Amino acid sequence: MGQGSEALKEQHTMNEFLRTGHYIGGEWHESHGASDATYPVLNPATGETIAKVAKGGADDTQRAIDAAAHAFPAWRALTAKERGARVKRWGELMLEHRDALAELLTREQGKPLAEARGEVAYAASFLEWFAEEAKRMYGDVIPSPKPDAQIVVTREPVGVVAAITPWNFPLAMITRKAGPALAAGCTMVLKPSEETPLSAFALAVLAERAGVPAGVFNVVSGDAVAIGETLTSSSVVRKLSFTGSTRVGKLLAKQSADTLKKLSLELGGNAPFIVFDDADLDAAVTGAIASKFRNTGQTCVCVNRFLVQDGVYDAFTRKLADAVRTLRVGNALVDEVDQGPLINEAALGKVERHVADATAKGAHALTGGKRHGLGGTFYEPTVLTGMTADMLIAEEETFGPVAGCFRFTTEEEAVAAANDTPFGLSAYFYTRDLGRAWRVSGALESGMVGVNDGIISTEVAPFGGVKQSGLGREGSKYGLDEYVELKYTLMAGLGR
């Protein structure tokens, strides 16, 4: 097939899912083109405008809340099997259109196509899982102290749910919330990141095709402040689920206080990756690459601090640097690459500040350490040695392709350093010692721990953190609990 045919095929794929307006009550509300009513969505690899998207505000959000509230009674009245069939079909359609969704995702987010295809499958897995798990939304029967009474506990949908999602996983972070919410009988208003609204709109297209009724799933993109304030102040919205920074999570929690919403907050991290001297170093390097450099280091669970025991420090950092040098950087739509660009100039600036701070305080770059020759927001995959606790990387989430390596001497020292942070989302360590594996995993102050593995996310396990990394869990049977309330009913007079 010639280049012209490929271009036409690519354009057709884009047009099938490309939407630029809000999805409210089963209808698309396109922008009329006023300069203050739209905003551009950019390809971070090229800086080119992919589309101009309607810029929603308070009025659009209120219409979406009203639509969700109107749809809720009929949706909750369906059986779990009926709701699950639609949610499951939604996931199946994602897989059927995997390549098209991946291409759209890569265009607006920048991650390599292979990773984008992986995200489509990962996102669909939440819909499949919760479509089935909601059928097991069991209650309880409790023996009553009264002889003529029965105590019944049921689990009921919380109601209208607001979801606010980030740009780093623009499909999976939506389905991880929408899957359990819709399967449990809730309706949803989604506010996706302004950086990646097109993936969210594509999901809405597929939800409609899957038979999800009008008003059950609504999408409004645009003014984050206006949309957020409308969602948090509404007494109709009974649940808020947010994935993003700790700073914004705290703000949303404060704004939600007046209406006492049920909250799920998946916030920032500062993940340690501990390499003990008995570790399989080759396996540790493989895990480090998978965790640190996936999505250009822009994941909430990626490693931020490498803690390496003295006896293997030089060998591990050398092996890690050798592996990092092989990573291919570029535009994932035209090249076979392992790493794409950072999402925007602000993200690039933070990475540069962290590296400059570290090198000014004595760190040394074994590889990388500067902007990539491709320009734009590309940054060289970087390995830093000689890291110390007074550097920014020790305190803040870099959210970029920088591996800062710290030394430690004893197990106790490593655990203390790993826990020396207000965050506690994820942690990783490598060891061959079974006793140490249990001991250290128990001592780490983290919601999730990977032992001899750098990839821990799955739909069947509870995802979430402790300390200032958030509240609640997503995924697994525990994720369903976030979207239901318990109702206790005392049935008396039954023996008369």
Q: Which residues are known catalytic residues?
A: 266
Coil/strand/helix, residue 34? coil
Distance CA 472, CA 479 (A): 8
Place of tokens 């990387």: 393
Q: Are strands 262-266 and 237-243 parallel, antiparallel or unpaired?
A: parallel
Nearest to 189 by CA among 157, 230, 156: 230
Distance CA 202, CA 146 (A): 54
Distance CA 397, CA 405 (A): 14
Give CA angle at 355 (351, 358), nearest 5°: 140
Q: How distant, in Å, are the alpha carbons of 191, 216, 281, 471 from that of 262? A: 17, 19, 44, 10
Task: Quote the tokens at residue 17.
Answer: 């899912």
Distance CA 3, CA 446 (A): 50
Task: Quote the tokens at residue 424.
Answer: 């506690």
The answer to whether 157 touches 184, Cβ cutoff 8 Å, is yes
| End-to-end C-alpha distance for the chain, whole angstroms | 80
Distance CA 431, CA 21 (A): 51
Coil/strand/helix, residue 487? strand
Give residue 388's Cα distance to chain centre: 29
At 490, which amino acid appears? L
**Residue 163 forms beta bridges with which residues?**
190, 241
